Structure 1
Amino acid sequence: MSTHLTHVHAPDGVAPGSGYSHVVWGEGRLVAVSGQCAFDEDGEVVGEGDPAAQARQVFTNLRRCLAAAGATFDDVVKLTFFVTDVAHLPAVRAARDEVVDTSRPPASTAVQVTALVRPELLLEVEAFAVVPDGRTAT
């Protein structure tokens, strides 16, 4: 668990979110991870037509990108989900819940889009993290 971050699930006057914090802040180095899609290390799409398989690959890619900056999912303050169909959100949330501390979830936004960079892609996820000063990349 990351202790350099503060999570506010429900600020005064705001209904609590389900599976996300409304506000997260911390001190340290900001890490921005570009939107990740379900590409393997060779650039091939993983899980064509399968939102759960694509979501698992996306979170695998996010983990690798975070590690490159010395971050983990415990350091993530914000996730943005871009899905071609909101019906894919349960699969995305299930994959997310395998990697984040669900008692201290990051802030999140979900957006349905008409298309992603390739037609077989169903989702893309970007992340922002705050890494404690002094922690180095792996």
Structure 2
Amino acid sequence: MPVTLLNPDGLMKTEMYRQVAIATGTRQVHIAGQVAYDAEGQLVARGDLAGQVAQSLRNVSIALTAAGATFKDVVRLTFYVVDWKRELLPDFAAGIERVAGELKFVPAPASLIGVSVLFEPGVLVEIEATAVVD
């Protein structure tokens, strides 16, 4: 496995993601921003941040699989969330926890960026991923 995830001493401890990813693979996989669309292009979980986070992560998983990777190969996640405020954290975390349990993954180092709008009304979250594989 080319990726080791760490939460080093001296940094805030969190179970939502790891602070550091060490990658030793040679092939990079960059996943375009994934939103909560199903295979037919229909928005899933309209108005439900947890549901959209979960569906977007499922879509990231599909893209990773197509590239010969898994969440174990991910070194970076970037979340863009519409109208972010700290009060949304429980719903956001619930979406991650739902899929982490389904797909058996520990989220890699991540950034959460609040935005005023994404490309289409109703889309609440977009997730980019970078993976490294042998």
Give the structure-2-normalised TM-score: 0.82
- Moved beyond 6 Å, runs of 4+: none
Matches within 5 A, 1:1-138: 3-10=1-8, 13-28=10-25, 29-84=27-82, 85-86=84-85, 87-97=87-97, 98=100, 99-102=103-106, 105-131=107-133, 133=134
Paired amino acid for 1:33: I
Distance 1:61 1:92 in 2: 16
Give unpaired runs (5+ residues) of structure 2. Answer: none
The number of equivalent residue pairs is 127
Give RMSD over aligned pairs.
Answer: 1.9
Contact 1:74 1:100 (8 Å CA) reproduced: no
CA distances 1:79-112 after superposition (whole Å, capped 9, x unpaired): 111101234443333332323534xx41011011
Assess, with a 3 A threshold, how the Cα gap between structure 1 residues 43 and 78 changes in structure 2: closer, same or farther. Answer: same
Partners of 2:52 and 2:95 within 8 A in 1: no
Identity of aligned residues (%): 38
Determine if contact 2:19/2:109 at 8 Å carries over to the other structure. yes
